[in-house]
Amino acid sequence: MDTGSRIFVAGCKGLVGSALVRRLQAEGYWNLLLPGREELDLRVDSDVDAFFAAKRPEYVFLAAARVGGILANSTYPAEFILDNLEIQNNVIHSAWKHGTRKFLFLGSSCIYPKFAPQPIREEYLLTGELEPTNEAYAIAKIAGIKMCQAYRKQYGFRAISVMPTNLYGIGDNFDLQNAHVVPALLRKFHEAAAESAHEVTIWGTGTPRREFMHVDDLADAAVFLMANYDSGEIINVGTGEDLTIRELAEMIARVTGYRGRLVFDSSKPDGTPRKLLDVSRLHELGWKARIPLREGIARTYEWYLGEQEQSSIATG
């Protein structure tokens, strides 16, 4: 890519897409194609085809997806499978058809088997049963990986597939029902601290282990891989470190100043017991995550407080 390349960031308003836009703009890329959802519905094949025919993007980052936390995934499996299949089928096919030079598909660590050995190596894909709470989403993402590999094999399309670990950061969704755990707990603890509440309820047992990466690190890795990786083999992107949900909750409580009790609601699902990616392939290429978890959470909290302030000014 050079700074004048036509680069399409699909999903430019989302957590990952907006981080990619920040990163690319900071590096001087000025020819970014950034249609919003109201302008281009990626689920409609004829619209996507017309967009590619008109704009002919040279590089594509496919960061558009229907995403959500454990409850959203298990409540809306139909939307999670259909929307994601439609988006990725349309964007991958049109990119190939209209001559995109290089394509980056973003998957997820939930593509791996529920009980995969830890840390999870790329070759564990399709070696066991998936985690039921996000099976629909995972199947869609696996189909995207296979589609990229098929187009590379049959047509020589230079598509790469990147598997990020659980992400959080600026621009995240803080809706308590649909969010992932980091924004959900930031909001719960923030509100509890403000109200001097005595307890906060955390879903599940607190024992599952997760790895979390700040989305700015992911954006940095994606731009790095676009330039330095060209293989059909999937590649993991993570920090290489995990912690329990209880430890995460304690960290978020400290960041927000909450001092009450933590209550665990084991009627809510835990999901997969552990999800830690093996990132040796990425490290061998020369890339490592830089933002420590506690610092990333503090930055996200600062951003959230700013957003709260803006919306209270707006509502007057």
- Please tell me whether residue 84 binds ligand GFB under the rule CB under 6 A: no
Whole-angstrom Cα distance, residue 272 to residue 115? 7
Tell me which DSSP letter residue 177 carries: T
Task: Supply φ then ψ for residue 128, to 5 degrees.
Answer: -175, 175
Residue with tokens 């920090």: 239
Q: Which of 8, 137, 157, 304 binds ligand GFB (CB under 6 A)?
A: 137
Q: Find the shortest distance in angstroms from Cβ 5 to ligand GFB.
A: 30
Alpha-helical segments (H) within the chain:
15-26, 45-55, 70-75, 77-97, 135-155, 181-194, 215-228, 245-256, 280-285, 293-315
Place of tokens 């190596």: 121
> Is position 55 an interface residue for ligand GFB (rule: CB under 6 A)?
no
Which range in 66-74, 94-102, 281-289, 296-304 contacts ligand GFB by CB under 6 A?
66-74
Is 166 a binding residue for ligand GFB by CB under 6 A? The answer is yes
Smallest separation, CB 99 to ligand GFB (Å): 32
Site membership for ligand GFB, residue 270 (CB under 6 A): yes
Q: Is 88 one of the binding residues for ligand GFB (CB under 6 A)?
A: no
Structural contact between residues 179 and 69, judged by C-beta atoms closer than 8 angstroms: yes
Please identify, among the stretches 88-96, 133-141, 253-261, 293-301, the one whose residues bind ligand GFB according to the rule CB under 6 A.
133-141
Stretch that binds ligand GFB, among 22-30, 83-91, 176-184, 215-223 (CB under 6 A): 176-184
137 is catalytic: yes
Q: Which is nearer to ligand GFB, 146 or 246 (CB)?
A: 246
Query: Are the C-beta atoms of residues 202 and 70 closer than 8 Å to each other?
Result: no
Under rule CB under 6 A, residue 120 binds ligand GFB: no
The catalytic residue among 59, 137, 168, 229 is 137
Of residues 207-226, those binding ligand GFB (CB under 6 A):
208, 210
Please tell me the total number of residues recorded for the chain in this structure. Answer: 316
My answer on whether omega of the bond before 117 falls inside 30° of 0, hence cis, is no
258 binds ligand GFB (CB under 6 A): no
From candidates 84, 88, 90, 108, binder to ligand GFB by CB under 6 A: 108
Of 133, 149, 236, 256, which lies in the binding site for ligand GFB, with binding defined by CB under 6 A?
A: 133
Give me the sign of the Cα torsion angle 36, 306, 184, 118.
positive
Q: Which stretch binds ligand GFB (CB under 6 A): 17-25, 47-55, 178-186, 217-225?
A: 178-186
Please give the residue whose beta carbon sits closest to ligand GFB in the complex.
Answer: 69
Neighbours of 302 (CB within 10 A): 12
Name the token pair of 68.
Answer: 């959500």
Specify whether the CB–CB gap between 149 and 206 falls below 8 A: no
In the complex, least distance from residue 82 CB atom to ligand GFB, rounded to whole angstroms: 15
CA 187/CA 191 separation, integer angstroms: 6
107 touches 145 (CB < 8 A): yes
Catalytically active residues, by annotation:
137
Contact residues for ligand GFB, defined by CB under 6 A: 69-70, 73, 108, 110, 133-134, 137, 166, 179-181, 184-185, 202-204, 208, 210, 245, 268-271, 275
